Amino acid sequence: MTSAAESRAVLVTGASRGIGRAIAHAFAARGDRVAVHSGSSREAAQRVAAELPGSGHAVVQADVADADAVGAAVDEAATALGGLQVLVNNAGVFTPHPPLETSWADWQAVVARTLQVNLVGAMHATFRAVPHLVAGGGGAVVNVTSRGAFRGEPATPAYGAAKAGLNAFGQSMAQALAPHGISVGSVAPGFVQTEMAREILDGPGGDAVRAQSPYGRVARPEEVAAAVLWLASPEARFSTGTIIDVNGASYLRS
């Protein structure tokens, strides 16, 4: 637990469940004040905020695909927390759309929504957060991307493309923001034991997914949160631009 003077103001997007919830808990456990964001359910975000240790937490809601809404949510979080030192871009959607099995209309809709939430929304949130981070003397942006950015996602190609774009965006911002004392890193999980992955992991292909890792399992949300927490720490400042794989050696890149 940190002292009051060391407590940071942290915004975690997509924090009402799964990986985002675990990230919110990890920051709160070290004494940080956390703004829990949800895209659709303020009630779910409020439940997460209520269960966090410590005090001074907040709840914000916005459709990440709506540029004005996500920008306003960032400002709202900074006001509620008394500033902003860390932004975690975790919000995402994962909708299958195999190229040979999807209609033209559905293809357009899924591609647009996936890119808007998983990539463009994170870009807008970062842009809006930067003035708050600069005003606070620096800080960190951490993006939650995916193993799929490197190995490909044939059943969800827009998801893989969005996460690859988010990696590239993060590395560009790492160079742009370093002179302002702001580090930018990314965490790229494989499959994680969350509600989003439950249908696949509990289905007939679940064992095959777990067998992709020599550990014979998928990641726990807390393991992803631990990597995010480190990238947001002052000790990780000189590792800006880094992408940390959290996939249990299920996919190794050079």
Does residue 168 contact residue 149 with C-beta atoms inside 8 Å?
no
- Report the greatest alpha carbon distance in the chain: 56
Query: Can you read off the two tokens belonging to residue 20?
Result: 């985002």
In the set 159, 167, 183, 184, the catalytic residue is: 159
Query: Can you read off the two tokens belonging to residue 163?
Result: 């996460």
**CB neighbour class for 84 (10 Å; exposed up to 12, middle 13-18, buried from 19):** buried
Composition of the chain by helix, strand, coil, percent to 5: 50, 15, 35
Residue 101: partners with Cβ closer than 8 Å, 6 or more residues away: none
Does residue 78 contact residue 9 with C-beta atoms inside 8 Å?
yes
Element spanning 231, H or E: helix 221-231
| Pairwise CA distance, residues 244 & 102, whole Å | 33
Backbone angles phi, psi at 37, to 5 degrees: -100, 140
- Is 159 annotated in the active site? yes
Report CA Rg, the chain: 17
Element spanning 66, H or E: none
Residues carrying an active site annotation = 159
